[in-house]
Amino acid sequence: MPVAGNGEVLVAAEVSAISAGTELLVYRGQAPSEASSPAEIPALQGGIGFPMKFGYSMVGRVIDGEPDWLGRRVFAFHPHESHFVAPVDTLLELPGEPESAVFLPNLESAINFIHDGRPLMGERVLVLGQGIVGLLTTALLRRFPLAELVTVDPVATRRQRSNQLGARSLAPEECDFVGHFDLVFELSGNPLGLNRAIQACRFSGRIVIGSWYGSKRAEIDLGGRFHRNRIQLLSSQVSTLDPSLTGSWDKARRLQLAKDSLAEVQPQQFITQRFPLGEAARAYELLDRHPEEALQVVLEYSAC
């Protein structure tokens, strides 16, 4: 068992969320060989390659260390494991239930996409991909007075959830829009989705690319509509902020906004499977072989 030092606590894990997009790239060997673990998450060290200790969404209770923190439930950007030591200044205290808090990283990503896309009143918006990040982005976009919000996903159950959030959700073969949308979020994880985004985007429209494709490659058509239509391609990743916002926003403020949004979004509704830590292999096998059956898979630590 690790021992907490000065300014640190020992946390007993309760629940952690598997990030199906990022973690499966590593699981499948599709992470770029030059990729490294995010520097802003100290618990993840070294290169991204299998085998490694991964994950970045953990909720647990403090059981040792700094006396003022004993018994507190906390969130940590930390890999999947039953116990860990962390500096107290890297933890976020949680008043609510643990299952909603494991969505904090993805909810913060959704906020980052919206900050980068900057939807305007009356715009037509398209979201490609209704996995967890796509659904959370859709849930937040419903706050805006948009003229139209359309989502696309090949999985029928995800389209149903998207419709319940208030969007009009279509299968890929039904999405035949040309030059219709002011703003497109490409969150499918499939690089071919970028062609669909370009096709659907209107003159001077914006495409926010939130997907991490890893080493996956696809032919992108930049010689057709893209060439003459002044379409903007915006890369968006949560580890940084748009420099134009940093006068008033920082990561702490954005994470606090994600925390404050949990009660409204109620993301725990998207949990489809729970596995004890000892059956983690089954969880990853499900996500790898039958992604249409799973949305958010969590690991539980009650027996640890």
Query: What is the pLDDT, as a whole number, of residue 228?
Result: 92
Distance CA 188, CA 72 (A): 36
Distance CA 223, CA 116 (A): 25
Domains located in the chain, CATH noted: 8-102+266-300 (3.90.180.10), 106-245 (3.40.50.720)
What count of Cα atoms within 13 Å lies in the side-chain half-sphere of residue 86?
Answer: 29
Query: What is the pLDDT, as a whole number, of residue 242?
Result: 95
Strands 124-128 and 181-186: parallel
Pick from 270, 280, 271: which is nearest to 304 by CA?
A: 280
Residue 230 has pLDDT above 60, yes or no: yes
Residue 235 has pLDDT above 90, yes or no: yes
194-217 tens-digit pLDDT:
999 999 999 999 999 999 888 888
Look up residue 231 and give its DSSP letter: P
Distance CA 54, CA 57 (A): 10
Query: What is the pLDDT, as a whole number, of residue 29?
Result: 87
User: Strand, coil or helix: what is 238?
Assistant: coil
Which residue did the predictor score with more confidence, 181 or 31?
181
Query: What is the pLDDT, as a whole number, of residue 50?
Result: 65
16-43 tens-digit pLDDT:
999 998 898 888 888 876 665 555 556 5
46-62 tens-digit pLDDT:
666 667 788 999 999 99
Structure tokens at 89: 């200044």
Structure tokens at 132: 């967890």
User: Strand, coil or helix: what is 156?
Assistant: helix
pLDDT over 90, % of the chain: 82
Identity at 277, one-letter amino acid code: L
Query: What is the pLDDT, as a whole number, of residue 41?
Result: 59
Name which of 122-131, 163-172, 246-255, 295-304 the model is least confident about. Answer: 295-304
Q: Summarize the chain as % helix, strand, coil (round to 5).
A: 35, 25, 40
Identity at 152, one-letter amino acid code: V
Q: Provide the pLDDT confidence category of residue 1 given band limits of 50, 70 and 90.
A: confident
Q: Which residue has the tokens 């976009």?
A: 141
Residues linked to residue 282 through DSSP beta bridges, in sequence order: none
Mean per-residue pLDDT for 102-125?
98
Residue 224 has pLDDT above 80, yes or no: yes
